[in-house]
Amino acid sequence: HTLSDAMREQGRPFSTLMVALIESGETSGELDTVLERLADDLDRRTELKRQLVTALTYPGIVFLAAIGVVAFLVMMVIPRFATFLAGSGKELPAAATLLLDISAWLGEWGATLAGGALVLAVGLAVASTIAPARRVIDRALLMVPVVGGTLSAAAMAQAAWTLAMLVKSGTTVLQSLNVTARVVGNQAIAEGFHTAAKDVLTGRS
């Protein structure tokens, strides 16, 4: 067996990218160079994940804090003032009445709402294991402000580096596009690479 075949049979932890690079290195006789590039890619991938987590941590904390503050005000603070405001004998402004209504509604349906959010989260996690649903979820994530741009930039940076490394190692453009599509985490972006591979196969640049 060749090294690439042996790694392919083992499956994890040898990814599609690793096997493709090793195979091209064996064909071109530059296996040592390819292994060095692969090591660099693993380092780069780890650094990219670290940067992605760092970029998304701050917006995530701010978002959760905002939800927490609003929930505390609506469910704890406003109800305590409701009796005082109602007993003042004055007509409440529309904004205050709306807040009181929202507070009362959340007090009655808050637990149901939280349970529904939990069920939705579990449902999305299960759906992400199904290819068509995963594609829809990934496409929706790319449309989320701030988060979408960060995810898109990270995925395209990884895709460009992977594609360059494959082509530089002697893999054909068609094979490189297909391997890159399998490596990219976001299925919506991966679909774009698959489409590009089909276009190249039909003779387009």
At 25-68, the pLDDT tens digits run 887 778 888 888 888 888 888 888 888 888 888 888 988 899 88
Distance CA 138, CA 112 (A): 27
Least confident of 84-88, 97-101, 129-133: 84-88
**pLDDT band at residue 184 using 50, 70 and 90 as cut-offs:** confident
Total-model pTM: 0.58
Average pLDDT score over residue span 107-117: 80
Distance CA 153, CA 78 (A): 42
Amino acid 126: pLDDT: 79
Q: What are phi and psi of 128, to 5 degrees?
A: -65, -15
**Angle at the Cα of 27 from the Cα atoms of 25 and 33, rounded to 5 degrees:** 20
Distance CA 157, CA 144 (A): 19
Q: Quick check: bond before 13 cis, omega within 30?
A: yes
Distance CA 190, CA 183 (A): 8
pLDDT mean across residues, the chain? 82
- Contact at 8 Å (CB) between 163 and 196? no
| Neighbour tally for 169: CB within 10 Å | 22
92: exposed, middle or buried (C-beta count within 10 Å: 0-12, 13-18, 19+)?
A: middle
